[in-house]
Every structure is written in C-alpha cells, then in structure tokens.
C-alpha cells in the first residue's frame, strides 16, 4: 500500500481461542512459540551493516495453515463452529480442527516446529538461547553465511552473497507459500 490505494483484500479465519478451556500451566509447552528478543533484529542489522551483508525479508502467507498438523497434545482436540453466514452454517454443528488456525493456542508452536525442522534438515543451527534464530555457515548447501530470524511468520534474512540469498529464498518459497519482500525497508521488531 505504498501508493495509498488498496492493492488486495485479505480474509482470515480466526478461531475464538479466548473461549477455549485451557488449564493454567498445563498447556504451556504445547502452545509456547519462541520469538526473537527485541534486540535480535538490531543485532542482525548491525552485523549486516558491519560485514556488508544483504538484508532481506520474507512474509509467510497464511502461515499457520502451512504448519504441520497439530501435535497430539492438550490443544489438538479443538472444535469450532462455522462462522455465521457460511454456506455450511447449521445451528449446533461443530468441526474438528486438524490444521493449525489463527486463534488456536498451539498454532504458533506448530508453525515454529515446522520451520525448525525445515531449517535443521538443511544444516542450520539455532543461535545460542534464541530458538527462533538460525545460522548456516558458508560451504554447505549454500556457499555463504546465512542468518535467519523468524518472528512467527515474518523472516529477516542476512547473507553475504546475493546469489546465495536468492537461492535460499527460492528454496524457502518452493516449500512455503509467502511473499518475497526483498530489501528490508521497515522492521518493526526494533
């Protein structure tokens, strides 16, 4: 919306997670999704500036739906009523959710586990205590250092070689649906 005109309309089905019966302390491991600390974005940008790295971003489209199925845990038994106005709306009918959706407490965790698995299959390692920041030294599948930070469905990527950056983003976007935001113009995590 850089021109001030509406470019597209989006619709998102959101489950009313606030109405779920969750037990305090029981569901934490199933629902907790790590996100980078607020300083991580600044650190990555500082490293990128100091080492002359390219800095790009990706935005995952409908990210929770792209996650693997909900784990067999406390929140996996989630039932929803269809929204009023839906063609299939019928009073008293409920559907069992088999996929993560916005509003289900464990959806963000399912997405993180899916991303973590994908990165680790390609040789990435998490950085220290930051479970949502991955690093791949050059010389493996890609021949340049790649640093990726994921804040739920927004990825910040730093890489020293533009062709390696493009190959990595192409690989990622072949597996996950998303938008290549190219060079970082704004970053709200700072």
Structure confidence by residue, pLDDT tens digits, 147-175? 999 888 888 999 988 999 999 999 999 99
17-56 pLDDT, tens digit each: 545 555 565 555 566 677 788 888 888 889 899 999 999 9
Q: Running DSSP on this structure, what letter comes out for residue 14? A: B
Give CA 165 to chain center in angstroms. Answer: 18
Task: Output the average pLDDT for the chain.
Answer: 77
Burial call 113-147: b when 16+ CB within 10 Å, e when fewer? ebbbebbeeeebeebeebbbbbbbeeeeebebbbb
Residues 12-31: b if buried by 16+ CB within 10 A, e if exposed:
eeebebeeeeeeeeebeebb
72's torsion region: left (phi>0), alpha (psi -120 to 50) or beta?
beta
Cα Rg of the chain (Å, integer): 19
């Amino acid at each position: 919306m850089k021109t001030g005109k509406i470019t597209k309309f989006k619709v998102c089905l959101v489950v009313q997670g606030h109405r779920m019966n969750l037990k305090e302390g029981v569901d934490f491991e199933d629902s907790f999704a790590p996100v980078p600390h607020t300083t991580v974005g600044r650190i990555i940008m500082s490293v990128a500036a100091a080492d002359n790295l390219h800095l790009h971003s990706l935005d995952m489209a409908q990210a929770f739906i792209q996650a693997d199925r909900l784990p067999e845990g406390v929140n996996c038994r989630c039932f929803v009523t269809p929204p009023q106005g839906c063609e299939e709306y019928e009073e008293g009918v409920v559907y069992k959710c088999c996929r993560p959706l916005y509003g289900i407490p464990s959806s963000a965790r399912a997405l993180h586990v899916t991303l973590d698995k994908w990165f680790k299959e390609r040789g990435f390692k998490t950085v220290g205590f930051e479970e949502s920041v991955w690093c791949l030294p050059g010389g493996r599948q890609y021949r340049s250092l790649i640093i990726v930070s994921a804040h739920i469905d927004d990825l910040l990527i730093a890489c020293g070689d533009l062709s390696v950056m493009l190959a990595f983003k192409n690989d990622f976007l072949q597996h996950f649906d998303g938008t290549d935001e190219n060079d970082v113009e704004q970053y709200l995590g700072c």
